[in-house]
Chain A
Amino acid sequence: MANTGRISYAQLLETNNLLQTVTDETYWLCVTRTVQESKLFPVPPYMLLSYLNAFYRYPSLLRKIESRMSAEEVGDRVRTMGIKCQNPAVGWALPGFYLLGREWLINMGLLRPVDAVEDCIYVMDFWKRFQLSWHRNDGHITNREYGHRSQILPERRLQVFETDLYRCEAGDGLHIAASQFLASASQYGFLISCESRISLSNSGPYKLGDNSEMIVRDFMDLAEGDLPWLDGVAAEVPYNNLTVPMMVKDCHFYLVDDWGSFESEPEFRAENIAGVGLYTSDPLTEGYLPVGMASRDELIETFNEFNEVCKDATTKLWKRIAGWTRDQMIDAGALTYFAICKDLAHVAGVYEHEDWMLIDERAERFRPLLNDEFSRDCLGELVGLLTHPSQRCNEYTMMQHGDGPTRMYTPIPYSILDGDGYTPSSGPVYPGASNLPPKEDRYRTSQGILTLAEYNRQVREFQPMAQKYRHLDETWVKFNYDTPLADEMYKLEQARSRKLEGRGAGLTRADLEQFAD
């Protein structure tokens, strides 16, 4: 197809800029963070398969989401939720997986950089609008752009998190219980996500005082829900998503990256935790709901209970996985990766199992290639070495971080504006399949265990009260905090706070001291 005027120069410029932004960060993350490996899961094979699934399906599935709700509205909705719309899921993986699939196909000769152009522009535009909305309070598009920082939450939520924290110190009952829960939930998260860390994410830091910062850690997809392999084994897990705000002392988080992991100076240790809270959220909650927060003893008991629940579910799930075939392991891993941003569809009320939990037949064709050695080398070249032919640039090039004449993702050539033929889209979602047992129609939500149809119905009908204040941002608060409208907005956020209920919009951090335990 010749360009019929549907694509403008400005669109292409922006798309290629966004693509380069993701290129630079992905390279940095892949070479400076950690290598993900496993003797249990064939990790590189499932990653490669997930990228193809993303390339073929994301454009259609994102359009389906926007048929109900715009990307920027989803961003506004999920800003105060600990679900899989966080930095790892949307901030990095959504464009990253799509573009990695595109790049691999280019190197197999199955795609030109001028193929699926409208898909590519759309995916990057969706990503941009979501990111700008979700990151609205810090004013950046990614953590990277903010110097690896992630300050998503508004003051009214941070005040509740801070004031409702229960203080603790190494060796006391709460510290022990919280630390044990964090360890067992992290371990359970790695297993749920087939060795990846995408069930966990950290955001922040937020300043709490001269020597104190807050990190917010989310554990996601813990219960029976979208992931078929949790049916039965996670029946006792009472919440699908849990969020732990942590007050940390004597430790500065100088880096929180777009994978949701952090670096600190000095090195963060459990002993640095000086206060914790516990919350849940999902597309049917009005923001965060406190869990076990009525008293210190109740919180200790809750952490201890969840610690045991996580350990039990870990053992059951591990035994299930140990009996899987290699194809089942690859499917579970590929679907975990591919569906990392599936909660966007939940928020819009358009989540379908067939959309997000099957391998598209177009991607499935490539499974026979995915032995361990080819997958390791192909992936290593794709994200670390940047030695696939498509990734080589002219010899004057010094790529960011690497200085070599390379680039992870191939831009869209501007020549299509002068009539060079291009193709717009890879097409609709094709049929898919999975080697895993069928998903049971059971979804743990904040409204109990629902069928998927009922879950979608309730989400579509749910109108969060906070939507009324959607455009009352932090700048508006600065100049209007003394209005009834600001008070109303703050009181909604404070409604379930044990310390701040009904306090309104006038509090500053100094005022919060009087409410501390």
Chain B
Amino acid sequence: MADEFIKGLGIFTAAGLGWMILAGWYRTPSFESQEQLVSPVSLGDSATMFDTLGVMLMDAFFWFTIIGALTFWVVIPVIRQAREKLQERAQ
């Protein structure tokens, strides 16, 4: 169980850090604004391929943070418990 927890926590913090940095570039108009990290993405005309890649990577990090942590903290333990229960019932 502890191993699963640290895997989930590692994904949550590492991917969350990556998302935070990219959102600091693409979803933060100013560090004095009321909407930091969550304001809508606005890519100007001068956006290069790297900016497009960065926005894509930002979304990938975001969903990896949520789905990865949920997988190790919820889905895998649930599957294991269900399997144990099924085996108990079979015996």
Q: Do A and B bind each other?
A: no
A residues near B, CB below 8 A? none
B residues near A, CB below 8 A? none
